[in-house]
Structures are given as structure tokens and as C-alpha cells.
């Protein structure tokens, strides 16, 4: 299995795919995630999360019991790459009505509208907030008012695309 040193040496997509393939072949998604996602070396944690994002949706289902750990990581990290990658995994996991966390919803609403935030994080936060609000009509009304009030000209095309898809009901 992997060591911190091996994950620290990752140089690009080819290395990440090799890690993902080894995790897939050994079917150790949960133990791999638990071992590396909170690593004190941000480079190691980032590379581990990057490898996990290569998994198919079916493979990622194995990480469903860790949903709250990925949410915590996204909310607590200071590293934007780790935030984006952990949000990517959260966005691909199933969110049910019972998974609604108001602290996480507030986090997503704040980061989706923050023009200083990276577009990938904004877009992921908007998609996740939308999915959480769908369970509650009053929250959905507030969410839609929020995205209607966003001055899209200040944002990158990625966020404008997500807003348009939400408004058209295609997300």
C-alpha cells in the first residue's frame, strides 16, 4: 500500500491514475481515504483526494459512510485544492434529507457567492446547496432568491453555467 512519501512524490495525472488504479484493484477506498485525507502534509492529502476523484460514482458509493468527514474537511481546510477536491467528492455522494447540516449549508451559501473564491469551489458549493435545499420548499425559495440576486457579470462562466442550469431545472 501507499506511504506518505509516495503520495508526496506525485507529479501529475499519470501518477494519480496509478494510485487510483491500485486503490481500485485492492478495493481499499475507505481505508485509503481515512489514512490520507487529513494528512498534515497538504500535498499528500491533496494527492490522495485527487486520486479518489478518479473513482467512478459506483466506487465512490463506498465512501458514503464518510460523508460528514469530507464535509468537515471542506469546511475546515485552509487549502483551496483540498477544499475543491473534498467538495467534488461530497457533490458526487448521495445527499438525503437527513444529511442536511445547517453549518454546511451556510458554508456553501457563503462560498458560492464569494467573488474572491475560486470558480470551481463556487460552482460546487452552489450545486451542493441546491441539492440540500431541494428537500425544503422554504429553503429552496430562499436559495432561488439568492441566486436571482447574484450579479452574474462579476462571476466566471463556470458559475454562470451552474446558475443557468439550476434556473432551467437541469441540475
Give the Cα separation of 91 and 103 in Å (integer): 16
Lowest mean pLDDT among 76-90, 133-147, 150-164: 150-164
Q: Is the Cα torsion angle 103, 66, 111, 91 positive or negative in sign? A: negative
| Domain extent at residue 113 | 98-171
| Domain limit, last residue, from 47, 71, 94 | 94
Q: Which residues contact 50 (CB under 8 A, 6 or more apart)?
A: 10, 16, 85
> Is 82 in the same domain as 147?
no
Question: Got the DSSP string for 52-113?
Answer: HTTS-HHHHGGGGGGHHHHHHHHHH-S-HHHHHHHHHHHHHS---GGG--HHHHHHHHHHHH
User: Which three three-digit cell numbers place residue 127?
Assistant: 450545486
Number of folded domains that form the chain: 2
> Is 132 in the same domain as 76?
no
> Is 83 in the same domain as 11?
yes
Position 110 confidence tier, pLDDT thresholds 50, 70, 90: very high
pLDDT at 152: 80
> Is 78 in the same domain as 110?
no
Helices and strands of the chain, counted as H and E runs = 11, 0
pLDDT at 139: 93
Is pLDDT above 80 for 115? yes
pLDDT at 69: 97
Quick one: which of 143, 119, 122, 120 has its CA closest to 131? 143
> Is 136 in the same domain as 90?
no
3-state secondary structure of 12: coil
Angle at which helix 67-76 crosses helix 80-92, to 10 degrees, equals 150
CATH number at residue 6: 1.25.10.10
Give the Cα separation of 83 and 142 in Å (integer): 25
Lowest mean pLDDT among 33-42, 98-107, 134-143, 155-164: 155-164
pLDDT at 87: 98
Q: Is 73 within 8 Å of 38 (Cβ atoms)?
A: yes
Amino acid at each position: 500500500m501507499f506511504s506518505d512519501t509516495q503520495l508526496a512524490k506525485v507529479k501529475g495525472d499519470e501518477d494519480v491514475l496509478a494510485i487510483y488504479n491500485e486503490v481500485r484493484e485492492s478495493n481499499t477506498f475507505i481505508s485509503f481515504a481515512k489514512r490520507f485525507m487529513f494528512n498534515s502534509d497538504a500535498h499528500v492529502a491533496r494527492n490522495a483526494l485527487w486520486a479518489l476523484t478518479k473513482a467512478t460514482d459506483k466506487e465512490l458509493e463506498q465512501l458514503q459512510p464518510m460523508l460528514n468527514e469530507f464535509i468537515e474537511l471542506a469546511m475546515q481546510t485552509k487549502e483551496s485544492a483540498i477544499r475543491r477536491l473534498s467538495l467534488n467528492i461530497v457533490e458526487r455522494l448521495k445527499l438525503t434529507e437527513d444529511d442536511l447540516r445547517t453549518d454546511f449549508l451556510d458554508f456553501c451559501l457563503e462560498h458560492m457567492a464569494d467573488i474572491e473564491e475560486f470558480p470551481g469551489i463556487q460552482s460546487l458549493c452552489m450545486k451542493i446547496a441546491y441539492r440540500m435545499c431541494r428537500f425544503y420548499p422554504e429553503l429552496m425559495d430562499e436559495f432561488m432568491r439568492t441566486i436571482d440576486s447574484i450579479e452574474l457579470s462579476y462571476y466566471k462562466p463556470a458559475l454562470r453555467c451552474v446558475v443557468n442550469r439550476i434556473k432551467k431545472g437541469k441540475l
